[in-house]
């Protein structure tokens, strides 16, 4: 059983960043939250995007796994937990239900780092939107209004999909 | 500027994972899901029943032919769905459609310390006779939420079959 996470035996061509984003839908006016990325962000600086972030090893305490299966340490539901955490951290919001799956993207950052993105949507549960954790501004938009913002490619379609899903 | 190759030179080590996806293949005509019996020769979970899936690799992507450019970011849309289509065809010979549902996720730390993110989706069966990948699987079955309990499955499969049947029969 591993005592610490390490990549000593890993094959480099199978390693990725793992990223999640979420479209948050507000029922009262049928709008979704977008956040402005910081001007010094390494990826798409200054663009309007969705709350999101990367999974890190520090999310997993090897002393306290959910299950031990032989020599393997298991942690259940890390992606769902990460979505909730980052939404609180980046936008000060909570979601009231299980996130819905929208789709996936593999992307290569400008610095060459390979990343897998899983996209979700959920109805807002509570909180007032406030940009934080690397974002500098926030706005609530519908499928028309998003076109007026300099946004990350594809999020207009995700917002439209979320609005259709929830309204 | 967009990258000219995939590289880990600038990556932060403590954010790197292996990535695996599995799929519950749902057959609408009888409301059953496909399970595969892993070969006794497999190191992990030998002889137990599982679902199709596999590990993502950098070589799966031709950086010169993305589906979209996003500023200097190179995008390949539906990458997990495409991985599952390839793996299902390779491991079981069947084709899956475009309706995907999210089932759950798991991170596991292998005995050698490598962290793996596993995402499970469900998809609809669209065609093909089951032909098992030689050496990897010994048998297959189409099962509903009751029948799957009769098989010695990898942990979680019974609940995932039940959830898949619920999602698609809505």
| CATH code for the domain in which residue A35 is found | 3.90.79.10
Tell me which chain A residues have a C-beta less than 8 angstroms from the C-beta of B1: 110
Residue A52 has pLDDT above 80, yes or no: yes
How many structural domains comprise chain A?
A: 1
How many structural domains comprise chain B?
A: 1
Instruction: Tell me if B84 is assigned to some domain.
Output: yes
- pLDDT bracket for residue B1 (50, 70, 90): confident
Instruction: Tell me if B8 is assigned to some domain.
Output: no
Distance from CA of A28 to the nearest CA of B (A): 26
SS3 B156: coil
Instruction: Tell me if A158 is assigned to some domain.
Output: yes
Q: Which residue of A has its CA nearest to B10?
A: A111
pLDDT one-digit tens code per residue, B82-124: 999 999 999 999 999 998 999 999 999 999 999 999 999 999 9
The phi, psi pair for A127, rounded to 5°, reads 105, 160
Instruction: Tell me if B6 is assigned to some domain.
Output: no
The pLDDT of residue A132 is 74
Range of the domain at A38: 12-166
Range of the domain at B137: 13-168
pLDDT one-digit tens code per residue, B120-141: 999 999 999 999 999 999 999 9
Instruction: Tell me if A103 is assigned to some domain.
Output: yes
Say whether B8 and A15 touch across the interface (CB within 8 A). yes
Instruction: Tell me if B53 is assigned to some domain.
Output: yes
Say whether B16 and A44 touch across the interface (CB within 8 A). no
Instruction: Tell me if B5 is assigned to some domain.
Output: no
- Closest to A51 (Cα-Cα) out of A122, A147, A143: A122
Residue B77 has pLDDT above 90, yes or no: yes
Query: A127: left (phi > 0), else alpha (psi -120 to 50), else beta?
Result: left
Quick one: average pLDDT of A143-152? 95
Say whether B80 and A104 touch across the interface (CB within 8 A). yes
The phi, psi pair for A130, rounded to 5°, reads -145, 125
| CATH code for the domain in which residue B32 is found | 3.90.79.10
The pLDDT of residue A115 is 98
**How far apart are the C-alpha atoms of A118 and A66, rounded to whole Å?**
23
Quick one: average pLDDT of B5-22? 97
pLDDT one-digit tens code per residue, A87-131: 888 888 888 788 899 999 999 999 999 999 999 999 987 777 777
Instruction: Tell me if A4 is assigned to some domain.
Output: no
Interface confidence (ipTM) of the complex:
0.94
CB-based contact (8 Å) between A127 and chain B? no
Instruction: Tell me if B65 is assigned to some domain.
Output: yes
Say whether A154 and B68 touch across the interface (CB within 8 A). yes
Residue B75 has pLDDT above 80, yes or no: yes
Both ends of chain B: CA-CA distance in Å? 46
């Amino acid at each position: 059983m591993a005592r610490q996470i390490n990549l000593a035996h890993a094959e480099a061509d199978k390693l990725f960043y793992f990223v999640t984003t979420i479209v948050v839908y507000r029922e009262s006016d049928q709008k979704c939250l977008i956040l402005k990325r910081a001007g010094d962000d390494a990826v798409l600086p200054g663009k309007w995007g969705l709350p999101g972030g990367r999974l890190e090893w520090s999310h997993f305490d090897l002393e306290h796994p959910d299950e031990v299966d032989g020599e393997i340490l298991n942690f259940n539901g890390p992606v769902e937990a990460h979505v909730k955490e980052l939404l609180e951290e980046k936008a000060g919001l909570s979601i009231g239900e299980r996130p819905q799956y929208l789709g996936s993207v593999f992307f290569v950052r400008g610095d060459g780092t390979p990343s897998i993105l899983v996209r979700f949507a959920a109805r807002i549960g509570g909180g007032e939107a406030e940009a934080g954790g690397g974002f500098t501004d926030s706005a609530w938009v519908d499928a028309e209004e998003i076109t007026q913002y300099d946004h990350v490619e594809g999020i207009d379609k995700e917002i439209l999909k979320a609005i259709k899903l929830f309204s | 500027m967009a990258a000219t190759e995939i590289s880990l030179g600038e990556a932060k080590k403590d954010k790197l994972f292996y990535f695996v996806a599995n799929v519950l293949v749902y057959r609408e005509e009888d409301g059953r899901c496909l399970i595969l019996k892993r070969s006794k020769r497999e190191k992990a979970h030998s002889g137990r029943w599982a679902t199709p899936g596999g590990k993502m690799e950098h070589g799966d992507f031709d950086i010169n032919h993305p589906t979209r450019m996003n500023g200097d970011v190179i995008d390949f849309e539906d990458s997990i769905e495409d991985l599952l289509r390839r793996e299902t065809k390779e491991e079981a010979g069947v084709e899956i459609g475009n309706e995907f549902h999210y089932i759950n996720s798991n991170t596991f730390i292998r005995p050698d310390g490598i962290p793996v993110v596993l995402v499970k989706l469900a998809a609809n069966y669209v065609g093909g006779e089951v032909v098992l990948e030689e050496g990897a699987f010994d048998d297959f079955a189409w099962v509903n939420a009751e029948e799957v309990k009769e098989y010695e499955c990898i942990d979680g499969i019974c609940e995932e079959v039940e959830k898949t049947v619920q999602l698609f029969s809505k």
